[in-house]
């Protein structure tokens, strides 16, 4: 696996797209907007807005449920399988820099706590600095029941055949309350992004349907083709419209049933209605 390697944590059965969860955040507080009222911040962050009479910083369910497991990577040479014999990955080999979007980083401005604020969270553990990129990544909610977030990047080392990475994990994030599971994923990135087969399948399926419909339309055009510039259909349509307008132009005209004594007889419509009891071509108008 060639560098860079991307280290993700994944949580299953955690639905970050729940409405009450998504809206429980105050970007006025996170951006340190001057003049933001305490009442507005408390309303936006409800129910995770305060604890023990102090405003939580940062407040809201998203910030207070941050993934707080600690992951340390150890690089092991070929044939080595014990943590003590492996080297701790630091610097560019285990970097948290560059894992968040710049547009998200620009929204967060850290500041010192005030006397009426606390960083002891709603779920009873200390919260991190809001400019920490691991926190910034967490603050963009997932869209389903599987939450996968980028945690670190190995920008230089990579892995050769036989080499491995051992993880020392501090298990702090509780998933028992929602019967969830956790795992760590190490992945690479190709020219067209990471492994995300769903969007590729959707795009290919849609393209195949479009090609199939194009073939059907092509066959219909070849079978029932009309000469270029042929106005016969348009002329017939205009003629029919004129006939309809002749009958509807005079509001006092009435339609009458026509009976023919000879089935071969026909009545030519010339733009006027026949009078009652008038006989034409052997037919009687009733």
Return the pLDDT at 20.
Answer: 92
Return the pLDDT at 233.
Answer: 64
Asked whether the beta carbons of 285 and 276 are under 8 A apart, the reply is: yes
Check whether 79 has a pLDDT greater than 60: yes
Q: How far apart are CA 274 and CA 286, in angstroms?
A: 10
pLDDT tens digits, one per residue of 110-139: 888 888 999 998 988 889 889 999 999 999
Return the pLDDT at 272.
Answer: 45
Residue 125 or 278, more confident: 125
- End-to-end alpha-carbon separation of the chain, Å? 92
Backbone angle region of 57, left / alpha / beta, with phi > 0 → left and psi within -120 to 50 → alpha: beta
pLDDT grade for 271, boundaries at 50, 70 and 90? very low
Asked whether the beta carbons of 44 and 24 are under 8 A apart, the reply is: yes
- For residue 280, what is the DSSP state? E
The whole-number average pLDDT for the span 228-251 is: 65
Each as own residue / partner, the long-range contacts of residues 246-249 (CB below 8 Å, 24 or more positions apart, any chain) are: 246/271, 247/273
State the chain's mean pLDDT as an integer.
Answer: 82
Of 157-166, 239-248, 276-285, the range with the highest mean pLDDT is 157-166
């Amino acid at each position: 696996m060639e560098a860079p390697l991307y280290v993700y944590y994944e949580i299953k059965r955690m639905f970050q797209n729940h409405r009450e969860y998504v809206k429980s955040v105050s970007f006025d507080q996170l951006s340190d907007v001057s003049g933001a009222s305490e009442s507005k911040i408390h309303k936006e962050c409800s129910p995770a807005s305060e604890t023990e009479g102090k405003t939580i910083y940062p407040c809201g369910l998203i910030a207070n449920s941050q993934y707080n497991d600690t992951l340390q990577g150890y690089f092991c040479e070929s044939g080595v399988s014990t943590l003590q014999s492996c080297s701790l990955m630091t610097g560019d080999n285990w970097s948290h820099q560059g894992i968040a979007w710049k547009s998200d980083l620009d929204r967060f401005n850290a500041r010192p706590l005030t006397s009426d604020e606390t960083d002891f969270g709603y779920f009873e553990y200390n919260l991190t600095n809001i400019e920490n990129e691991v926190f910034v990544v967490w603050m963009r909610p997932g869209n389903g029941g599987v939450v996968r977030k980028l945690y670190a990047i190995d920008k230089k080392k990579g892995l050769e055949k036989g080499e491995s990475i051992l993880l020392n994990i501090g298990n702090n994030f509780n998933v028992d309350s929602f019967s969830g599971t956790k795992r760590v994923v190490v992945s690479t990135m190709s020219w067209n992004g990471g492994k995300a087969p769903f969007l590729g399948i959707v795009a290919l399926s849609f393209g195949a349907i479009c090609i199939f419909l194009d073939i059907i339309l092509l066959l219909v055009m070849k079978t029932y083709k009309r000469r270029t510039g042929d106005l016969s259909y348009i002329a017939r349509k205009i003629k029919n419209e004129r006939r309809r307008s002749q009958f509807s132009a005079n509001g006092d005209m009435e339609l009458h049933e026509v009976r023919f004594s000879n089935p071969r007889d026909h009545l030519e419509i010339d733009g006027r209605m026949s009078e009652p009891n008038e006989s034409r071509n052997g037919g009687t108008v009733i």
